[in-house]
Each structure stands twice: as structure tokens, then as C-alpha cells.
Chain A
Amino acid sequence: MAKPKKTPVNRRGFLKGAAVGAAAGAASVIAPESLVAAQPLQAQRPAAPLPTAAQIAAETEPLAAEHNVFTVENAGSDFMVDVLKSLGFEYIAANPASSFRGLQESFINYGGNKNPEWLTCCHEESATAIAKGYFNVEGKPMGVMCHGTVGLQHASMAIYNTFVARDPVFIIIGNALDANTRRPGVEWNHSVQDAAAMVRDFTKWDDTPGSLQHFAESAVRAYKLAMTVPMGPVILTVDGDLQERPAENRARLRIPKLTLSSPPAGDPGAVAEVAKLMVAAENPLILAGRVARTERGMQLMVELAETLQCPVQGGGRNIPNRHPLAGGGSVRNAEVILGLQVDDLWGSLHSFRDQQDRAYTSLIKPGTKVLSISANDLYTRSNYQDFQRYAESDISIAADVEATLPLLIEACKKLITADRRRVFEERGKRIAATNAQAVERARVEATYGWNASPISTTRMSVELWNAVRTKDWALIGGGGSRLWNIQKFYQTMSGGGAAATGSALPNAVGAALAHRKYGRLCIGVQNDGDLMYAPGALWTAAHHRIPMLLVMHNNRAYHMEVMHMQRMANRRQRANITNARIGTEIADPNIDYATLARSMGLYGEGPITDPQDLGPALRRAVERVERGQTALVDVVTQPR
């Protein structure tokens, strides 16, 4: 280990010099009047009190040698950066915080601020949600850093959101464990015994390394666990002293090799039973949740649907939205229903009535076989209830669906006879015809309210589609519809999460960042209520030159809550049922989102209220995005 250098420029020497300077400053106060007149403001300032002799003595007395160290080589956090670089992080998202100052400095100087590059975020919730959006596109985690106390408290909602979505985020939190070395005052407020405790209910794993070797092993383990299906957020609590003290025996520290676990495939026997029922069914139905993790996953889903000529509901990233088998079918009419990674299977099989007496009924007919393949049973927790209501099933396979699909497809193909194939082909034609009719109905439905002001959400979606349809586009938020032609895996987001307001904007920023290196035109519809949680993510996008277009769905309200207030007032037979917007609207004054965006360096247009103005505005914004800018078009919309 290299011995830390001592420097001739120590703190007390600096203070001693400062005291002399202060004395010289005091002398200048009584300078000639001509000089005072030339600098009237300075002359009016009160003189700083001079240190007393006792204070100077206390600051200048020689210290014991062990306390007279001012520099460090081989800082522990340099090694931490080596470890994190080995894991392949492209970015670290963070709001700066003193509890990880050592590690941040190592990233930007020792690590050269490249792989990972530091993303300046205005809120820890934004940083975590940016990481979630990035994973949705890139398929690997982003690093996030925050204070172990106040920063993690800010980040907690976004962490829960990633947990519910089973998305991996790699979070490092700073802390000062040793009370003997904590700086007085604020650092005590920012220190905690068990930092990760407050989010442990909704994180997959955490650790507090006690040494650098421990850090290396836990970092690699954390990455591996985060990426093992079911994925999830992980946390490392990193002590300030461990960051800032020198790495002893650096040459002996070792970074373990990362080997990701292959996702678990379903039991072949159970998969064969699923295939048997699906092949034999006259009206099978596939309910697809978040199945496809990769482009390959989408290809496999299409292959399964085409093998069985079976309708797939809940398409998303699983099947192109114009595929003849995307949509159609009916839970009520199906005799075999295959749920693939459906988070709320019970909700898909029941109707639930939110009236004063809450009631539910099963949608499926007696004798319907319900089959499920899902990774959710492989990892769940107790306190937070994101596991949804228990769904009865006839076959349940705990496995990763994408890893299981090749087995299932093969098992189905083995069972399909020529007779069954003819039946499937006829069924496929019927489903395709039904889905084609649904597209036609959607075109006709779009005409209703076409020229309305505020602008209909359908008009907004169609105008956006028209502005991008000839380009290599990717949705980084909402906005797509049946009238779009969504063919590629990367053109939509995987979704998932806790319906956490405030997530959509930073998710979009993270997704657009991941798309940037592929040169895709990133677009998304952004809700007003969501944006106002932490609009600083707009600045992060502009600061880091992330090209993207956000189109505001500005209905000037937390509209879901408006509807809940109306429901409550009507249910209670209030004398006045006109108050639903109290506490739920975002108006008076109306927010000028275009100006807000421009203030943070974005290109901004709006508010747009005339539908005739929307198309040209979107085209201008798209041109800006194609030149590398971040853009926002504010559209005042119908509520829904």
C-alpha cells in the first residue's frame, strides 16, 4: 500500500495565513478617504472580527502526526469505480449529495466521467425513474446514487414503482456509520443505522459492505440478483469512510467475475399439459402481460400465436398491434385461457363494480380451464399488496415466460395434426377479420370530436402518428393507439409499476437516453399532473442533450381524482355535486408548459387549443428533435 503523503499545505497553516490576511484587510478599512470614495460599498461593510490569540494558538499549534494527513492516494472510492465499471454501467443518475462525495469525485475524475457518465438529476425520485426508463429500452440497469437518508426518502416511491414492475435498478446510498468521524451538525441528520430498512419491503436485496473487498463482492452479487428473473431494485449502502480512506492492499483486492443467471424455464411436463389443452381448445385465448423482455420474446410470442392461431389480448410489446391475431377473442367465450406473466390474473377474469356495494362476478364460463405461466410466484413480499388477488388456476407454472416459450411452442407443434391445423386456419381467418373490423371501427370512432376544442386525445394521437410514421420512431410514453402501426419491440415501453404519479416524465427521459445511441426519434404523450411532480427532469434532458418530443395531454386536472370526487359526491347524494374539481384541478392559473420547458432549455410550443394548429406544431417540434433538441408541445385536451 502506498503511504499517504503529507502535505506542507495543511488546514491550520491555511488558517494562519488567513488570519494575517484578515489583519491586512482590517488595515485597509482605514485607508485614505479617496480610496474609500472609489469603493463606497466595500468601505461600508463591517470589518470581520479578528481571531483572538487563543483561537490562533488553537489553530496553529502542532498536531500529532496521525492527525496531520491532508491528502490521499488510492482512495477507496477509486476501487469502487473500478468495480462498477466492470459491471458495464453506462450512466449513474443522481442528485449530488455529500454522503457519497468521495465516490462521485472518483467517478468524474478517476473514472473520467465515462462508462458510467454522471447524469445530473434534480430529484432522487427522478433519478430512479430515469433508471427505470433506461432499463425498459436497454435491458440492463442504470446506477442511481442518493443520500442514505433524505435522498432515499425522496427516491422511495420510484423504487417501489420499479419493484412492482420487477425492473432492476442498482442503487448506491451514502452514509456515515462511524459517529466518531461524522462531521457535527447536518451529517448526523444524514446518517442512519440501517439505511436500506425503509425500502427493504420493496427491494430485492441490499447490503452494507464493511470493506472494499466486501463492496466488490456485494456489488457483483447485487447486479446479478437485480438481473435474475424476477428482477428488481437492489441497494448497496456505502460508508463515507470506506469511500474516502485509502484502499489498503489495493493489489490484493479482487473484482469477482459476473455471470448472470439464466432465467428459469417451466417444467417440461407441465408445459406439455398446457400445450395439450391449448391445441385441443376450440376457443383458446392468450392473455399476455409483460412477457417479452427482448426482441426475441416478441418473436416467440408471435410464433406461439401463429402456431395456435390464437388471439392475444394485452399485446403491448408482445405482438405487433396490427398483427391479425393481436386482440380479439373473449374471456367470456374462451374454454381455455392461458395467462402469460399477467400481474392481475384475477382482475382479468372478473368484473368488479365500484358502486356503494362493491361486487364482482366471474367472467369465465363454467368448466373453463385457466392456465398460468408467471415468474411472480418465484419472488414476492408480504407487506405491500402488489401481488394482487389470488387467482385460481388449473395449471400454474412458476417460470420466466420468455424462457419457457420455446418449450411451449415445440410442445404445441408436436400435437398439431392436419385436422387441427385446418381448424386453426379457419379460426385465424375469423380472428383476423374481427380485428380488421376493429381497426375500421377505431377509424370511424376517431371522427367523433375530431374538430373539438379542447382537442380530443384521439386527434392528438393521430396527429402525432402522422408526424412520425415515416421515421424510425419509438414511443417513450403513452400516445399510441390501434390507429398506429407498431411493429417493433423497441417502439413501445414495457410499462408496469405502481401507477405512481410523477414517474412518466423521468421514465421517458431515461428511455430517450437509451434510444439516443440508436438514433431513434423518441416521442411520448405526457400528462400534466405527472409532469408537475418533478419537472426538473426536463432540465436533465436538455442538459444532457437527450433528443425527445413530449406532447402534453393537458387536461388541467388530476383527472382520475376528479372522477373519484364525483363518484363520492353522487354516492352520498350531496346537495351540490359541482365541486369535484376542488383539490383536483390544475387550473387558475393555467400552467404554461411551453414556457416552463423553454425556461429549462427545451424547445417549447403551445398551449395549443385549435386542432388545426396541432399538426404544424408537431412537425416543427419533430424537426427540432431530429436536430438533437429536447422539445415539448403543450396541447390542451379533452379530459380523456
Chain B
Amino acid sequence: MRLLLLLAATLMASMLSAQTPAAPQASNAAAPRGNADNGKKIFTAYGCYQCHNYTAAGGGAGPRLAPRPIAFPAFTKAIREPRDEMVPYTAKILTDQELADIYAFLLTIPAPPAVNTIPLLNN
């Protein structure tokens, strides 16, 4: 269990660090056109939600993916050839179009409320 938590934390740290320097708006141009509605369905049906939660906000088993996802090439690489514990999704089980659909879904996820607007987080 501790090993799993450590691995999850390591994965989260590496993914988040990958997110930080990315300039999402600039990278979106490189992403193929995707169907966000289908991407939302796939996100659940294909199991992405299992580690990243239904909102892609991340959780105890996987990093936050949205809003402002990492650049599409890095996103593709992380899914096709994951470095750490990420479950691999090859083109055989997740087509390039489906991958683009998921990315399109992630782009639709709005920014969260500002932390200073949530009283419980300011106690």
C-alpha cells in the first residue's frame, strides 16, 4: 500500500511538474480537432476517471489533467508510452481520434473557483 501511495505521489509530482511549464494555449493549436462530448464519454468508459476522477481534477491515484491540460504532444506521449505507473493506452485500444476527443473534453473543463472565494479553505 505504501509503495502504491509513493508511486502515485511520484507520478503526480512528475505529471504536475510537466504541467507547470507548459503553455497550454500555445500548444492547443497542435491538437487535432476532437469531439468533446465523445471525449467525456470515453473518459469514463475507458477508465481515465479511475485515477483522475470524473472531473479530471486528479485525486489519490493520478494527477490533475484539467483545466489547462499539458500540450497535446506531451499528453499523447504520456498516454501511449507512460513513464511511470500510468496505464498504457496504445492506438489499438484508443484511436488517435478518440485521444483527440478526450483532449477536447479536457479543454472544456472550466477553471475552479478562486481559493479565496471558498470560506472553508480560508479557516
Contact = CB atoms under 8 A, between A and B. Distances in A.
Interface of A: 343-344, 347-348, 351-355, 443-452, 454, 456-458, 462-463, 466, 469, 483, 499, 559, 562-563, 566-567, 569-571, 573-575, 577-578, 580, 615, 638-640
A448 B45 contact: no
Nearest to A559: B50
Interface in B54-72: 54-55, 57-62, 64
A640 B61 contact: yes
A347 B121 contact: no
Q: Is the interface of B mostly helix, strand, loop or mixed?
A: loop
Contacts of A447: 112-115, 118, 121
A353 B58 contact: no
Contacts of B50: 559, 562-563, 566, 580, 639-640
A640 B50 CA distance: 8
What are the 6 A-B residue pairs with the smallest beta carbon separation, nearest first? A449-B57, A640-B59, A448-B57, A447-B112, A566-B47, A640-B60
12 contacts: A343-B2, A348-B6, A355-B82, A446-B118, A448-B112, A456-B55, A457-B60, A458-B59, A562-B47, A563-B47, A577-B94, A578-B47
Contacts of B2: 343-344, 347-348
Given A443-B115, A451-B113, A639 B59 contact: yes
Interface stretch (B27-35, B83-91, B99-107): B83-91
A347 B6 CA distance: 8
Given A447-B118, A449-B53, A639-B53, A577 B64 contact: no
B32 to A, nearest CB: 21
Interface residues of B, number: 40
Contacts of A456: 53, 55, 57, 59
Contact of B51 (A348, A445, A457, A563): A563
B19 to A, nearest CB: 12
B123 interface: yes
Given A443-B121, A449-B53, A570 B87 contact: yes
Interface string B1-28: 1110011001000000000000000000
Contacts of A454: 54
Nearest to A566: B47
Contacts of B45: 578
Contact of A566 (B53, B87, B90, B123): B87
A573 B93 contact: yes
B88 A355 contact: yes
Contacts of A344: 2-3
A450 B57 CA distance: 9
A210 B47 CA distance: 59
Contacts of A457: 59-60
A577 B85 contact: no
Interface string B39-55: 00000011101110111
B24 to A, nearest CB: 15
A570 B94 CA distance: 10
Q: Which of B53, B84, B85, B123 has the most CB of A within 10 A?
A: B53
A567 B53 contact: no
Contact of B92 (A348, A463, A573): A573
A638 B54 contact: yes
B120 A640 contact: no
B123 A466 contact: yes
Given A452-B57, A457-B59, A570-B93, 17 more contacts: A353-B85, A443-B121, A445-B58, A446-B115, A448-B55, A456-B53, A463-B120, A466-B123, A499-B1, A563-B51, A563-B61, A570-B47, A574-B93, A577-B47, A638-B55, A638-B59, A640-B60
Contacts of A352: 3, 7
A445 B59 contact: no
Contact of B120 (A343, A348, A462, A577): A462
Contacts of A566: 47, 50, 87
Given A344-B2, A454-B54, A577 B46 contact: yes
Contacts of B59: 456-458, 638-640
Nearest to B62: A640
A457 B52 CA distance: 12
A599 B87 CA distance: 41
A463 B1 CA distance: 26
B54 A452 contact: yes
Nearest to B1: A499
Contacts of A463: 120
B59 to A, nearest CB: 4
Q: Which of A352, A456, A639 has the most CB of B within 10 A?
A: A639
B46 A450 contact: no
Contacts of A451: 113
A571 B89 CA distance: 8
Given A570-B88, A577-B93, A640-B61, A462 B121 contact: yes
Contacts of A450: 112-113, 118
A315 to B, nearest CB: 13
Contacts of B3: 344, 347, 352
A434 B24 CA distance: 27
Given A457-B60, A580-B50, A638-B59, A351 B88 contact: no
A86 B81 CA distance: 63
Contacts of B1: 499
